[in-house]
Amino acid sequence: MGSSERDGPASLPPRGMDATTQRAIGPAVRLLCQVRLVVLAFSLVLAMLNGTGWLGAVLVVLAAPFSFVPALNWETRGRIYARNGILLACDIVVAVVALIPLAGSPLMAVYAAATAALWGLFAGLRLGLVMAVPLCLFQLTAYEPSWQGFVTGISGAALTAVMTWTGTMLGRRLRKQAVITAELATTREHQAMLAERLRLARDLHDTVAGDLAGLSLTTRGLADRLEREGVARGTVEVARRLSDAVQTAHRHTRSALGELRDETRGVTGPVTDLARRWTERTGVPVDVMVRAGADEIIGPGRARHIRAVVTELLENVRKHAGASRVEVLVTTEGPAARVLVTDDGRGLPAEVPATGGYGLRGIRERAALCGGDVTWTPAPGGGTTARVLLPAEPAGRPERPNGDVSDVVPDRPPRRSEHRRGRTAEVV
């Protein structure tokens, strides 16, 4: 059974039915199967009245599962039925056999029309018409050899062909409607999350950011006053460090505000600015290399993840590596992104906890959320290399704002090759 939007070859059913098509046409499939079951029940009654009860009963028992089973479990098995050429061929044979007790009855045209619409619904127009040929031929020969019988047979065959086309068109429209509904739901979800991000940004600006800005001015003034009053140099240094720490926290808060409002876009400029500010704060030089055209290749969702990952990896180097130089490399492999951060520090310990701190845990969560991975390996000449792989964003589906990792990603123990002595970070 194939996609209702694209006809497959005449000899085999299309292979392209996706989950959206399966769900979209499910109600129509069940309805047509139920119509066939009702007609089969009437055919059994007619067979009993005509004195051919055993034959009619056998034919009904033979044909009923081909309608009852799809109506019962189409949601879970529909694509299997649609792709199975043997089942489709058997359904053709059984459909013709089921018409035998109905020969000459108006119910024959009803069963044939419902069957043809069912085939057109999931098999497409061309394949559905090919499958409907035996039904049309049977109806042309099922009536008495008279003008009335000939016209009735022609009408039944034409109705069968028309219902094949009707089923195909119905399947296409149902799928289109399902796609539109899914897109609207995604858009509403995206708008709701955007509104929540803006609310958080406003609250953060009105509370934490404002308090840090005032505290930054206060600590700077305190350090200057202590220096003017001749307080011990050690005390002044403590005040200066306190002022620097508050200013750093304020910058980080402002950066978070920009991310929440999605004001920062792309990779090249933001990563370069991150490295420059980190160098100004730590005194450790950072070499940044970003592949040309990366901003056009990497989607906005993955770009947010990369900015967050690079920030955390640089902070990890500052806290633990004792490095004198760091390299940040952002490359692409097709639509996927790869970021490599390498330092020449002391490297990771021989045994690294499976979960690590919140920073390493956040990097793992971001990579897992995108279907990627993170590895840590020794850097050439000493130090560490950490690699984070971020596959391409799904096409046509907006990613959760700000690389939202609120979807809980359970901590998982790293692979044995994931942590070794040395420090390097890479994002793919």
Domain ranges of the chain: 19-187, 266-427
Averaged pLDDT for residues 33-45: 85
Are the beta carbons of 167 and 128 closer than 8 angstroms? yes
* Exposed / middle / buried, residue 86 (Cβ in 10 Å: 0-12, 13-18, 19+): exposed
Averaged pLDDT for residues 404-420: 37
Band of the pLDDT at 169, cuts 50, 70, 90? very high
- The residue ranking higher by pLDDT, 246 or 423, is 246
- The residue ranking higher by pLDDT, 77 or 262, is 77
Q: Which of 64-78, 159-173, 254-268, 360-374 is the most confident on average? A: 159-173
Give the model's pLDDT for residue 279: 86
- The residue ranking higher by pLDDT, 352 or 267, is 267
Averaged pLDDT for residues 90-101: 84
**Across 69-73, 177-181, 334-338, least confident range:** 334-338
| Long-range contacts from 182-187, C-beta under 8 angstroms, 24+ separation | 182/20, 183/396, 186/397, 186/398, 187/398
| Residue 135 tokens, joined | 């039904």
> Has residue 416 got a pLDDT over 60?
no
Angle at 89 between CA 88 and CA 93, to 5 degrees: 115
pLDDT more than 70, % of the chain: 79
Averaged pLDDT for residues 276-293: 83
Averaged pLDDT for residues 51-76: 78
* Amino acid, single-letter form, for residue 166: T
- For residue 169, how far is the Cα from the chain centroid? 27
The CA distance from 377 to 386, in Å, is 6
12 Rama sector, left if φ>0, alpha if ψ -120 to 50, beta otherwise: beta
> Has residue 294 got a pLDDT over 50?
yes
Give the model's pLDDT for residue 357: 58
Average confidence score pLDDT of the chain: 76
| Residue 1 tokens, joined | 């059974």
> Has residue 397 got a pLDDT over 60?
no
- The residue ranking higher by pLDDT, 263 or 271, is 271
**Across 28-42, 75-89, 163-177, 342-356, least confident range:** 342-356
Give the model's pLDDT for residue 83: 78
Give the model's pLDDT for residue 261: 61
325 Rama sector, left if φ>0, alpha if ψ -120 to 50, beta otherwise: beta
Are the beta carbons of 25 and 34 closer than 8 angstroms? no
Architecture of the domain made up of 266-427: 2-Layer Sandwich (3.30)
Are the beta carbons of 266 and 303 closer than 8 angstroms? yes
Torsion angles phi and psi, residue 248, rounded to 5? -65, -45
Instruction: Of 58, 79, 94, give the one whose Cα is nearest residue 16.
Output: 79
Averaged pLDDT for residues 276-297: 81
DSSP letter (8 states) at residue 395:
T
The CA distance from 108 to 86, in Å, is 24
Q: Give the count of beta carbons closer than 10 Å to the beta carbon of residue 7.
A: 19
- The residue ranking higher by pLDDT, 428 or 41, is 41
> Has residue 17 got a pLDDT over 80?
no
Torsion angles phi and psi, residue 290, rounded to 5? -120, 130
> Regarding beta strands 336-343 and 326-333, do their DSSP bridges make them parallel or antiparallel, or are they unpaired?
antiparallel
pTM as predicted: 0.52
- The residue ranking higher by pLDDT, 405 or 82, is 82
Give the model's pLDDT for residue 418: 39
Angle at 342 between CA 337 and CA 343, to 5 degrees: 155
Residues 6 or more apart whose CB falls under 8 angstroms from that of 67 comprise 33, 34, 36, 37, 40
Give the model's pLDDT for residue 423: 38
Q: Give the count of beta carbons closer than 10 Å to the beta carbon of residue 46.
A: 18
Query: Could you give the residue ranges of the DSSP H alpha helices within 317-403?
Result: 358-369
Could you identify the residue written with the tokens 């990369």? 306
Give the model's pLDDT for residue 164: 92
DSSP, residue by residue, 279-326 = HHHH---EEEEE-TTHHHHS-HHHHHHHHHHHHHHHHHIIIII--S-E
Averaged pLDDT for residues 150-167: 90
Averaged pLDDT for residues 360-383: 79
